[in-house]
Amino acid sequence: MSRYWTSLEDLYSENLLTESSEIETVAREFQIKVSPTMQAQMADSKGGDYDALVRQFVPSKEEANILPSELDDPIGDRRFSPAPGVVHRYEDRALLKITQLCEVYCRFCFRKEMIGQKGETLSKPDLALAMEYFRAHKELWEVILTGGDPLVLSARRLAEALDALVEIDHIKSIRIHTRIPVISPEKITDELLNLLESIVDRGKALTIVLHANHASEFSLSARKALLALRKRGVLLISQSVLLKGVNDSLPVLTDLMRTLIENGVKPYYLHQMDLARGTSHFVVENERGIALVNALRESVSGICVPRLIIEIPEGEGKRVLA
Ligand code: SF4
């Protein structure tokens, strides 16, 4: 299995969907992409956690249900964007949205209006402008590479950004938000590992924030990729999204958080869903999310407990719920 599923035809032929005009409309709004590794994990989990994977990556008619409260920029990035690809919302840290491409297109994505072919990878002149901004803003302690998924880029392309950041004295910490180590672990190549290790060797703290939502996403190759990253001195922490029908139960969350720790990843954030368009079928009410995290705290080792976070719409920032 080495081909990506990128179209409704792919999903019809795998019997993951039946043809309908509603689903065609949904697919026109937001692209489809399922990596070969996730296809294999689905095949392995048939009868078990199959639905938890399918629900994350295969479109459903429910996506056509757009509520008035849902927004195309739910966390308000645009308001805080002083340069292309840059979001500077908090004083000491800024985002660099370096690419809008991903290895999978998650149906619940809070940036679904911007990622995929609707966006693109930052051009060299825009990257230079972003670096100019970071250089000029001495209050910045950390730059966070996000997207899209920054690790879809080649090591050579990533090096253009990372090497430039290393040269900025006041930037002490570089963070990369990614789903790649579990979704497409073959992209954690020696070339990439060498690059990441060189950032650590040059005196910067390097953190990978792994996005994973279910223990069944962790293939043997994913586990090896995470170990390889740890061996190169990269700090690994996680972010997950609390998703109805995927991980909204105590046994599933317990399994996920323990799997993260077993692979050297500290559970960090569990996010409540943002108000992205067509995602209400994934929403778990706040009270239920708080109860789940409190129950987790009572039943598992403290190192397995993430913070439950909600993003206040339109750029007002994060709030800790539990
Ligand atoms: S990998 Fe991240 S940015 Fe890409 S679709 Fe999934 S949640 Fe969105």
pLDDT in tens, 107-149: 999 888 788 766 688 999 999 999 999 999 999 999 999 989 9
In the reported structure, the alpha carbon of residue 299 is separated from the centroid of ligand 1 by a whole-number distance in angstroms of 30
pLDDT digits (tens, 9 = 90+) for 87-112: 999 999 999 999 999 999 999 998 88
Residues with CB under 6 A from ligand 1: 102, 104-106, 109, 111, 115, 147-149, 179, 211
Longest C-alpha distance within the chain, in Å? 55
> Is the alpha carbon torsion for 36, 38, 40, 46 positive or negative?
negative
Q: Give the atom of ligand 1 at the shortest distance from the alpha carbon of 183.
A: 1
Chain-centroid distance of CA 56 in Å reads: 12
Q: Give the atom of ligand 1 at the shortest distance from the alpha carbon of 179.
A: 1
* CA nearest to 210, candidates 164, 151, 166: 151
Q: What are the DSSP E strand ranges found in 41-160?
A: 86-90, 93-97, 142-146
Q: Give the atom of ligand 1 at the shortest distance from the alpha carbon of 146.
A: 3
pLDDT digits (tens, 9 = 90+) for 216-249: 999 999 999 999 999 999 999 999 999 999 999 9
Q: How many CB atoms lie within 10 A of CB 295?
A: 14
Q: Band the pLDDT of 206: cuts 50, 70, 90.
A: very high
Best mutation site among 53, 107, 110, 149 for ligand 1 pocket (most ligand atoms within 8 Å of CB):
149
Q: pTM (2 decimals)?
A: 0.96
> Is the alpha carbon torsion for 273, 276, 279, 280 positive or negative?
positive
Whether pLDDT at 1 is above 60? no
- List, in order, residues 6 or more apart from 48 with CB less than 8 Å away: 216
Cβ neighbourhood burial of 167 (10 Å; 0-12, 13-18, 19+): exposed
> To the nearest whole number, what is the mean pLDDT of the chain?
94
Q: Give the atom of ligand 1 at the shortest distance from the alpha carbon of 147.
A: 3
* Alpha-carbon radius of gyration of the chain: 19
Whether pLDDT at 68 is above 90? no
In the reported structure, the alpha carbon of residue 176 is separated from the centroid of ligand 1 by a whole-number distance in angstroms of 13
In the reported structure, the alpha carbon of residue 298 is separated from the centroid of ligand 1 by a whole-number distance in angstroms of 31
Task: Give pLDDT, residue 109.
Answer: 93
- List, in order, residues 6 or more apart from 268 with CB less than 8 Å away: 209, 237, 238, 239, 306, 307
Whose tokens are 């962790």? That residue is: 218
Q: Give the atom of ligand 1 at the shortest distance from the alpha carbon of 111.
A: 8
In the reported structure, the alpha carbon of residue 148 is separated from the centroid of ligand 1 by a whole-number distance in angstroms of 6
* CA nearest to 305, candidates 262, 244, 258, 245: 258
First to last CA, the chain: 41
